[in-house]
Chains A and B, each alone.
Chain A
Amino acid sequence: MKKLFAVALGVLTAIGGFVDIGDLVTNAVVGSRFGMSLAWVVVVGVLGICVFAEMSGRVAAVSGRATFDLVRERLGPRVGLANLFASMAVTLLTFTAEIGGVALALELATSVNELLWVPVAGVAIWLVLWRVRFSEVENIFGLMGLALIVFAVAVWQLGPDWGDLWAQASSPKPPAEENWGTYSYYAVALFGAAMTPYEVFFFSSGGVEEHWKTDDLATMRSNVFVGFPLGGMLSLAIAASTTLVLLPVGVQVDTLGQVALPVAVALGKIGLAVALLGFFAATFGAACETGLSVGYSLAQYFGWQWGKFVRPRQAARFHLVLLLSTILGIAVLLTTVDPIKVTEYSVVFSAVALPLTYFPILVVANDPDYMGEHVNGRLANGLGTVYLVLVLVASMAAIPLMLVTKAGQ
């Protein structure tokens, strides 16, 4: 019974914790511009994150080593350092976008300017990183994030022509008003949003934080293979909601308020309130995850003590990194940069950085010295190889596409 509860809780928090500001914004933008014609990318991306999250979780459970440990150990200090810089830059950018997302969600609820919320949100996030237990962060924000199911309810309530949605989803080509350049650019962005590297830093480090052992592999897998795809369904529901309400009237999403609009149209104030709660939970939870991920990757590269399973004083350098990252994120946002723009760039640069993270995981998950009998099977390796190629293609295409399409215009 207790075991069942643990599994259910894990799955629920995996669903609620799946969506972050990158998924929210990118899916809403894509829905409003491309309808469901890019839904396949979400499906491909979600399967990809499942494959690699399972691998990194398995490595963490069997060997006790989190992802960035492996990066330096396999790639050596020089390539590892270049990797660290790139990964940290992307994760910091994502962290900044998440803090901005929290501020935007609070602005939508109160009409108090987002810039005034930024320091409040930043300090609150830091306090959570400083004081709150790891599993509590995961559970509270994961469960609150389930509020985003309201998007699925809204889509259902809007009574769409399901056949039409399916027709869009099954014809992977740009609609008349868009071209292949922007279509490909947003395909890469969606892929980056679904597979963000921080997710595996966080997932694997979380496994070490919670002292996973090989006995926990089944629970970990159920979280990944049930929770993530259902979380991915929320992404699709967000895209569908903007496809139904905004695409037909020519509205292209460029604010968080527009993301919430279809829910208000479909379900009124109660739905809107739930959606805003979902925005808050998803961005706040992801802000904690990305903030921790910055600390995890730096500490693991240098071998410092990290983690929330020890007192802050025992992981002083790790906590210093968390503090400085939060200050940096707040400072960047206070330059009045638009958090939605930060988000859009963060998902594209995530796509660029993907191979840096996923290649070492794939190699180590095959090393019997680490994994013993738990090395990758044929399925994991087959999928892992396919995704390695996909991730390389997305990574190399991202910057040229960004330049050619002027970031999707």
Chain B
Amino acid sequence: MSPSEAAVTHRISDLLGASVAARDGREIGHVNDLRLAPGQAVRGVHVELVVEGLIVSDRHAGSMLGYDRRAEQGPWLVRAVVRRLHRNARYLPWSAVDDMAWTDRRITVDADKLMPL
């Protein structure tokens, strides 16, 4: 049941809120959420969930409350406010992560791979 002693484990809360910087040291923002996608292996009855990418926001304005997922989710006022707060949020595939310093909670990424949500 428990992971083998050799395996390195982390908590997802170590990643959430971690600072994200470009290769040249420029600050991009913070990890707002992690997108998980089904992997190849099956764990129990469920396929394993692999971290596929990061949602990076340029400010600590809290969760996007799901308004990044769908264009039409209402009510209009809340959507407009949340979108405005997170207007610079971007998606970054995990493959663009160069380095992950767990203790400093700092991620270095290839900023060219950032894409709109």
Contacts and interface: CB of A to CB of B under 8 A. Distances in A.
Q: Are A and B part of the same complex?
A: yes
A363 B65 contact: yes
B74 A376 contact: yes
A367 B75 contact: no
Contacts of B75: 362, 366, 376, 381-382, 384-385, 388
Contacts of B78: 362-363, 366, 385, 388
A377 to B, nearest CB: 9
Interface stretch (A71-79, A141-149, A159-167, A186-194): A71-79
Interface residues of A, number: 18
A372 interface: no
A369 interface: yes
Given A362-B78, A363-B78, A76 B73 contact: no
A363 B62 contact: no
Contacts of B70: 368
Chain B: interface secondary structure?
A: loop
A385 B77 contact: yes
Contacts of A369: 66, 69
Interface string B20-55: 000000000000000000000000000000000000
Contact of B74 (A74, A79, A366, A389): A366
A367 B66 contact: yes
Interface size band for B:
10 to 19
A367 B78 CA distance: 12
Contacts of B62: 75-76, 79
Interface in A379-396: 381-382, 384-385, 388-389
Nearest to A389: B77
A404 to B, nearest CB: 29
Interface in B56-81: 62-63, 65-66, 69-70, 73-78
A382 B66 CA distance: 19
Interface string A342-374: 000000000000000000001100111100000
B90 to A, nearest CB: 21
B74 A381 contact: yes
B63 A76 contact: yes
Contacts of A366: 73-75, 78
Interface of B: 62-63, 65-66, 69-70, 73-78
7 contacts: A367-B66, A368-B73, A369-B66, A376-B75, A384-B75, A385-B77, A388-B78
Given A363-B78, A382-B75, 7 more contacts: A74-B66, A76-B62, A362-B78, A381-B74, A384-B75, A385-B77, A388-B77
